[in-house]
Structure formats: structure tokens, C-alpha cells
Chain A
Amino acid sequence: MRVPGLVFANDELIRSIRQDQSLQQVANVATLPGIVGYSLAMPDIHWGYGFPIGGVAAFELDKGIVSPGGVGYDINCGCRLMTTRLRADEIHREMKELVLALFRNIPTGVGSRSPIRLSRSEQERVAVMGAEWAVKRGFGMPRDLERIEDHGAMEGADPSVLSERAIQRGRGQLGTLGSGNHFLEIQAVDAIYDPEKARQFHLFEGQVTVFIHTGSRGFGHQICDDFLKEMGRSAFKGELPFELPDRQLACAPLSSDLARRYLAAMACAGNYAWANRQILMHWTMETFLKTLSITPEELGMNLLYDVCHNIAKKEMHQVSGEETMVCVHRKGATRAFPPGHPLLPEIYQTTGQPVLIPGDMGTHSYVLAGAAGSMERSFGSSCHGAGRVLSRTQAVKKAKGRAINRELEDKGIIVHSRGKHTLKEEMPEAYKDISQVVDVVEAAKLAVKVARMRPLGVIKG
């Protein structure tokens, strides 16, 4: 190990963390060249492939590496939260109808096709422009852009480095939610922890919010796959001056052309994901308006923020007491910049960046705000969710004979999914207690709790 590992956790969480191989993965990441500070893990850490999920690592630009496995297949998998003027008790009676209408209007599940078909040149524009492409085509408003990490478009995206396969897989999937742990959820704010920040975020108790969790779909999966294979081949031929502890950690020196091409392709997928969530937000708004027969003013749906939690970015951080540009990998970790950070828009300069932490379909989600401790301890990062505690096969076994959707309905949560299998895999008991995860984040001063939301209705693939 070139640097120590550092895991943010409490006694109970560390007991469950020790039960899988994620700590070994923290150690593996610590062996990669050019890593600075610590090989970090957030309290929602669990066993992934290559990097642990919940892993954060920063690398020097001249001696370090970039690893597609440190970003993941779902590049810019992320979250978006919309606020409304509605109160939960005002739409209680229409909730079933609303969830069903969302399920009909938002393509979910594998093989679901978007009504948007992209020509090659349009797809390349999406890859470069990101959310702005969607806004220019009438999906949302220009004011949304400052409420998206990187204004919804990473710099350096270059479609000329993409494979034909990536283009092909991305063609019909813009405007789709996907499957697995991805979801769209109607929620009610049920706790406010920081009234002043909540006011600035336009959050109030009883308010209806909508949470979207999805990413870059097959387009991002293919880009990760393409570059892992290319970097893996280079490692196999002995072109890396060190030994990889895990083939999934295949990487390239940041100074190499291969790294440049990967980062350019990764940015394309990141931008595609932001366009995707922008489009899904627009269809969600349309569905609310039509189903509830209300005006846009009455609905008052606004974007609070959009964050990514699978990405690699060049950012300025303190390394050995000096401001240094490093490449921060966040795999299942959310950026959490504090008040006053130069990359935050004016509206969040005094509050810190909104940090969106999804629960699963049966438990709460949280809005946090980035705090100064994140810059001191975690390269400006925070957790990204609850983190699994049961494997999917264990979850399916535990759910045998149970009607998960009925159990959720008994708790006042309406769920529509393509199949019962996903519901069982994603059952609430499969995840850690999210309140413990965010409490650890707050205790470590990476971010502060602002509000909590409980689920009312969920659609899943």
C-alpha cells in the first residue's frame, strides 16, 4: 500500500463492512501509483468490483493513474431532486393514479425504448452539450443548468474517441430510467434538520418532492467496457510499471494518450446521463400536470440539484499543505463542496452544495449540504446511499413467499415495477440503515443534514 486506507463508519457499520471483501478493495486501491492522502471509503461502502462501492481516491496528475473501474460501468450514475409547491396531503387520493401514469410515461426496465431516437450527429451533440442539449429541445428551462453539477456538461467530451458500439447502445436509450436500483420516487419531506438551509433550498415539511436515480445507460456501460479492455490489454503486455492487484483495476497513467481518450469518452457518458435525467424530469412534470389537472404555477416543480456519484474529475485539493490539481475518483460517492467553493453557483455559495442521498423504496432519502470537513478529509466527497447489506440472492431468498409491493403499500408506499424479481432484490431489508450512514457523514463534518423525505410512490425497472 502506498497510502493508508481510511473508512468513515461507526461500530455497527464497520461490523457489516467487515463481512464482505470491501476492505481488501480499499487496500487494493491504495497500491495504485500516484495516489495521495488516503484510499478512502464512505460509510455506505460495500463490495464492488475493482474499487469498493463508496470508494474515493485522488491521484497526482504527473505520477498517477485513471481507472475506469474506479468510476464504474454506469458513468455519472446520479441523483436529481425536484421540489414542488404541493403538499403530500393534497395529492394523497391521486397517488395511485399518479404512480401508474409515471410508470406509463417514463420508459423503465431493460429493453425499454425511448420515444427519442438520436441521429449520430445529435447523439454527438448530446455527448458534448449534456443537459443543455435537452433544454434547447424544450426539456426543462435554462435556469435548470446552474442547478446541475458542472452545469450539466463536463468539459473535454470528445465523441471522436467513442466506439461504434457505444454509439449504437446509446442511440435508443436517452430518456429511459433503466433497471436494478434505479428509480423515480414521489416523496414527502418529513423532517427538517437545518431550517435556514432548508429555506434556501425551498424545502418545507409536508412538501412533495420527486427523486430520480439513474445514469448513462448502455452508452456508459459500453464506454467503461471498451476502455477497461484496452487498459487491461496494456497491463497484460507489461506496459504498466507496476503489478495490478485486481484485473478490474486496469488503469492508464494520467499523462498517457489512453487516459486522455478515456476521460474524453467518460465525459461524453457523463453528459449523456445529465441529458437523460433532464428529459426524465420534464416528462415527470408533464405527467404531474396532466394527471392532477393543475397549472405549472400550481405545481411549481423546480430542480433543487443534480449530482453524480460515479465519476473521475480533475479538481483542486490540498495535498501536503499545497493546493494541487488531482484526479478524484468517486465510485459510489457524491461530491459535497462546502459554502464558498468557487465551483458552486451563486445560489449555493452560502449553503454549500446540495448532496442528494437516496434511500431505497421503503426508507427515507436525505438532502445534505456540503461542509468544510469534506475538503479537509475526503477530497470534497460524501456518501451516495444506504449501501447493500444483503446480496441480491439473499434478498430474493428472504423475500420468498412475500408480496413486497403489498408490504410497501401497507406502509403507504405505492410501487410499480416491471417485475417482482427487482422488488425482491431491492427490498428494504437488503440495505443498511441509511440514517446511520448520513449520521456518520455529519459527525465527520463532510456534510450537514438539511431534510429527510419519506417515499410515497416509486417506479422501478
Chain B
Amino acid sequence: MAGRRKCFTFLDHTADLRIRITGPTLEDLFRNAGLSLMEIMLGKRPRLKTSPQHLSVSGDDLPDLMVRWLGEILYLLDGENKVVMDIEINAISEMHLDAALHTVPLDPRTHQVITEIKAATYHQIQVAPTGNGWQATVIFDI
């Protein structure tokens, strides 16, 4: 992740967290969305030796795929205590993606959760191409 630029911005929302994510390709967009989620929750993560893990996600369309994808990453953290450090999107279509995740165990001594996110919501979810890439807007319940 060395040199990775911040690829999301906070948008206004009264109670929850609304962000815009961008990426030059659809693969980049989904990778950036997953890494943004980790960055919002954990801030800077110390670089530790990671373990690889394969993940396949299916959705009804791109917005559904995005919500389900982010839900998987959230579950890894809250259900399996795994922090995603890096992501490679190996294949993606409108309804399916295959990814390789690189994770480390959540350790309270090295990780501080700065924002608890309960879920990625469908409310006003958008995933669409722009003139020079892709953009998504997601509201998280926190």
C-alpha cells in the first residue's frame, strides 16, 4: 500500500457517514472502496505479515455488488477479527467479483478502531462510470 493516495472523500450526512470513492477502473473502484472502509475504521494500520484469502461476491447489479462486497470486509473484521491490508480484484462483472485479500489478525495492541461502522447501506447508493473512470457514493451506518 506504499504511496497509495487517499481515494475517498467525506460527503455531508447528518447522522451517518457518506463517502464518495473514485477509481480509474471498476477493479480500482472496488479495491479503493474496500481499503477506504478499513482506513475509516482503523486509520493507519501497521504493516505486518499478511495472510492471503480468496473472496467471491455476487450481487444483483453493481450497487448491490458494492454493498455486499463492503459487507464481506466488515464481517471479516467484526466476525472473524481480520483486518484487510490489501486487495487485488482478479475478476469483476456487474454481478460478480473475485478478489484476493491480504489480512492480519485484529490486535487491540496494534489496531485502534476509530470509527465503528455497523453496515454499508443501500440508501442512495450509486456506482457509475464518470468521464475518466468510476465513482461510487455509499452511506455507512455508524
Contacts of A179 in B (CB 8 A): 113, 115-116
Is the C-beta of B63 less than 8 angstroms from some C-beta in chain A? Answer: yes
With an 8 Å Cβ cutoff, the count of chain B residues facing the other chain is 38
From known contacts A73-B119, A229-B68, infer whether A168 and B80 are also in contact, taking CB-CB under 8 Å. yes
Known contacts A49-B139, A233-B60; is-contact A221 B118 (Cβ 8 Å): yes
B132 within 8 A of A: no
For the complex, give the distance between the alpha carbons of A205 and B8 in Å.
Answer: 50
Q: Which residue of A lies closest to B61 (CB)?
A: A236
- Does B111 interact with chain A (Cβ within 8 Å)? yes
Determine the chain A residues whose CB is within 8 A of the CB of B92 once the complex forms.
none
Q: Does A197 contact B (CB under 8 A)?
A: no
Q: Are A169 and B113 touching (Cβ within 8 A)?
A: no
Contact with B along A267-297 (1 / 0, CB 8 A): 0000000000000000000000000000000
Specify which chain A residues have a CB less than 8 angstroms from the CB of B16 in the assembled complex. 47-49, 392
> Do B116 and A178 touch (CB < 8 A)?
yes
B78, CB-defined interface residue at 8 Å: yes
Contact assessment for B118 and A247 in the assembled complex, using a CB-CB cutoff below 8 Å: no
| Nearest residue, chain A, Cβ from B19 | A393
Which residue among B64, B67, B68, B114 has the maximum number of chain A CB atoms within 10 Å of its CB?
Answer: B114
CA distance A76 to B141 in the complex (A): 15
Closest to B115 in A: A421
Q: Is A4 an interface residue (CB 8 A)?
A: no
Number of interface residues of A (CB under 8 A): 49
A180 touches B14 (CB 8 A): no
Closest beta carbon of chain B to A414's beta carbon, Å: 22
| Per-position 1/0 for B93-132, Cβ under 8 A of A | 0000000000000101001111110110111110000000
Q: Is the CB of A391 within 8 A of B142?
A: no
Per-position binary interface string of chain B over residues 35-76, scored 1 when its CB falls under 8 Å from any chain A CB and 0 otherwise: 000000100000000000000000011011001100100010
Taking the closest CB of chain B, its distance from the CB of A108, in whole angstroms, is 11
| A388 on interface, CB distance cutoff 8 Å | yes
**Residues of B contacting A419 with CB < 8 Å?**
112, 114
Residue in B10, B75, B111, B119 whose CB lies within 8 Å of A224 = B119
A248 proximity list for chain B (CB < 8 A): 121-123
Q: Mark A399-426, 1 if CB is under 8 A from B, else 0.
A: 0000000000000000000110110010
Residue picked from B15, B80, B81, most chain A C-beta under 10 Å: B15
**Chain A residue with the shortest CB-CB distance to B71:** A225
Within 8 A of B (CB), among A176-198: 178-180
Q: List 16 A-B contacts (CB under 8 A).
A: A20-B14, A48-B16, A69-B123, A73-B141, A109-B113, A111-B81, A111-B106, A111-B108, A112-B108, A221-B119, A222-B75, A248-B121, A248-B123, A393-B17, A419-B112, A421-B115
Closest 10 pairs (CB-CB, A-B)? A49-B123, A110-B113, A247-B122, A179-B116, A248-B123, A49-B121, A73-B118, A110-B116, A47-B14, A236-B60
